[in-house]
Amino acid sequence: MLGTIFGTGLLFLVPVTPTLMKLRKRSLPGTCAASSRRAGAVRAQVERSSPEAEAVQLPDRSAEKIQKHRLGAKKHAVAYYLVKSEGSGPRKFTVDDLAASPLRCTSWDGVRNFQARNVLLSMQLGDFALFYHSNCKQAGIVGIVEIVREAYVDQTQFDSTDSEAYDPRATPDKPRWYAVDVKLQLKLPRPIPFEELKQYATPGGPLDGMLLFSQARLSVQPVRPEHFRFILGLF
């Protein structure tokens, strides 16, 4: 499948892994096919719903704590992010798992850090994120995903059978955690390991100031446009 990223003219080929694998995140058949149309319908439905329903279905995107994380001065400017997923272990979810998901889409759920949640809440349709493997032998960037559904209530917070996702303080009326849907747009021809990226993060370097090196444990983080573009040039 050929496509173009943010108008740079960069063409890429997305390989699809034919074998379905056991996934940590939920695959979402049909999510990507009409994501923009359905997002508009959801917003229209929420506008007609009660305040209680609105609180459950959509976050308050006008809140300062959400807006301060938006990148770019223009209202419709594309923003860039980095999202981490475990590359090994019992809760692993790799770029190959995402490639094997129906329509290469999944719900990016399970975020349980408030700073990461606020960054996730800032994501809008058409934004891009670097897919990063963590907690594995070779941590690094392995793909690029597109945001195809904006923040909605993460249902895993109500699942008492999942000890890592369950939050007893969360209720359907007052949810604490949110998810977005992402679609794989590019599996990199080679992983870009953390150590390679780090050599460009010296003072004055092209990746100077990137949060990956100062807040390494943050699983969802904004990425400056110039950092995103530089990383694209590494493969």
User: pTM of the full predicted structure?
Assistant: 0.72
Q: List phi, psi (to 5°) of 113.
A: -130, 130
Query: Which tokens in the block code for residue 22?
Result: 């056991």
pLDDT at position 129 is 98
Would you state the pLDDT for residue 51? 38
- pLDDT tier at 32, thresholds 50, 70, 90: low
Of the chain, the percentage scoring pLDDT greater than 70 comes to 68
Cα(first)–Cα(last) distance of the chain, in Å?
A: 18
CA distance 102 to 26: 10
| DSSP secondary structure, 45-111, as one string | HHHHS-HHHHHHHS--TTSHHHHTT--SSSTT---EEEEEEESSSTT---HHHHHHSGGGEEEE---
* Pairing relationship of beta strands 105-108 and 178-193 according to DSSP bridges: antiparallel
CA distance 62 to 235: 37
**pLDDT band with cut points at 50, 70 and 90 for residue 77:** confident
Average pLDDT, integer, range 207-232: 96
Residues 6 or more apart from 75 whose CB is under 8 A from it? none
* CA atoms within 13 A of residue 77's CA, in its CB half-sphere: 12
Average pLDDT over residues 212-232: 95
Q: Does 74 score more than 60 pLDDT?
A: no
Q: Give the pLDDT score at 42.
A: 31
Taking all residues of the chain, what is their mean pLDDT, rounded to a whole number?
A: 78
Q: Which residue has the higher pLDDT, 58 or 168?
A: 168
Backbone dihedral region for residue 206 (phi beyond 0: left; psi -120 to 50: alpha; all else: beta)? alpha
Q: Hey, what domains does the chain have and what are their CATH numbers?
A: 2-232 (3.10.590.10)
> What are 87's two structure tokens?
């590359």
